[in-house]
């Protein structure tokens, strides 16, 4: 959605607070945070990119920090899906977790925002801090207790391995992982995720 479109919508008398406008603001925010980092993005440039007045963003989201939190909502949705997968029955857990994770990254509605959040977190310490808190609070606190005494290490290493698959396959798109058949990838990695989550941990 560009300035002209938003202008037309507004002129047609529709509320500028429609979900299309909010989506345009969040999309512009993710793009600006990803490109310029938290410090470099401003409500003014985000408003310009979304084709709305900065006052409207303040009205919907409050401060830049609140907008940033709203822009991170997709990972929170993802975290919820992952928590559900991770706390399921131990049988076939590795495969279910890996399938849920790949499905999120392969859903176009989630992949774009996710990628923007990863970009922000890699380039901005503030964004990294938010992602840390999100992963820490949602995944480790809710998942770890289900995984026994070393649950935090199991959850953390699993998250690290999943992150590596996503970075390789969807962010850097390094071959052969980028175009590896999904079922082959699951066949190779699900047993490892299963072992990290439920098997004997390490050599000791």
Residues that bind a second copy (CB under 8 A): 34-35, 37, 118-119, 121-123, 128, 131-132, 135-136, 140, 152-153, 156-157, 159-165, 167-169, 171-177, 180, 184-185, 187-192, 195-196, 201-204
Task: Compute the least distance from the CB of residue 103 to a second copy, in Å.
Answer: 18
Using CA atoms of 196, 199, 203, 204 in order, give the dihedral in degrees to the nearest 10: 120
SS3 content of the chain, % helix, strand, coil (to 5): 80, 0, 20
Which sign, positive or negative, has the C-alpha torsion 155, 156, 161, 162?
Answer: positive
d(CA 170, CA 46): 26
- By beta-carbon proximity to a second copy, the closer residue of 62 and 106 is 106
Task: Compute the least distance from the CB of residue 43 to a second copy, in Å.
Answer: 21
- By beta-carbon proximity to a second copy, the closer residue of 43 and 144 is 144
Only one residue has tokens 């890996």, namely 98
Task: Compute the least distance from the CB of residue 156 to a second copy, in Å.
Answer: 4
Task: Compute the least distance from the CB of residue 184 to a second copy, in Å.
Answer: 7
- By beta-carbon proximity to a second copy, the closer residue of 1 and 177 is 177
Q: How far is CA 179 from the centre of its chain?
A: 21
């Amino acid at each position: 959605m560009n300035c002209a479109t938003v202008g037309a919508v507004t002129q047609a008398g529709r509320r500028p607070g429609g979900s299309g406008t909010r989506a345009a603001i969040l999309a512009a925010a993710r793009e600006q945070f990803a490109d310029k980092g938290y410090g470099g993005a401003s409500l003014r440039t985000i408003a310009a990119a979304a084709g709305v007045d900065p006052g409207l963003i303040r009205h919907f989201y409050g401060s830049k920090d609140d907008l940033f939190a709203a822009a991170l909502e997709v990972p929170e949705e993802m975290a919820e899906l992952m928590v559900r997968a991770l706390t399921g029955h131990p049988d076939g857990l590795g495969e279910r977790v890996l399938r849920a994770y790949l499905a999120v990254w392969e859903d176009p509605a989630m992949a774009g925002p996710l990628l923007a959040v990863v970009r922000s977190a890699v380039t901005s310490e503030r964004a990294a801090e938010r992602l840390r808190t999100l992963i820490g609070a949602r995944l480790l606190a809710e998942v770890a207790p289900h995984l026994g005494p070393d649950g935090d290490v199991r959850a953390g290493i699993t998250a690290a391995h999943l992150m590596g698959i996503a970075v390789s396959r969807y962010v850097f798109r390094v071959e052969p992982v980028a175009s590896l058949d999904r079922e082959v990838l699951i066949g190779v990695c699900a047993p490892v995720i299963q072992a990290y989550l439920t098997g004997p941990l390490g050599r000791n």
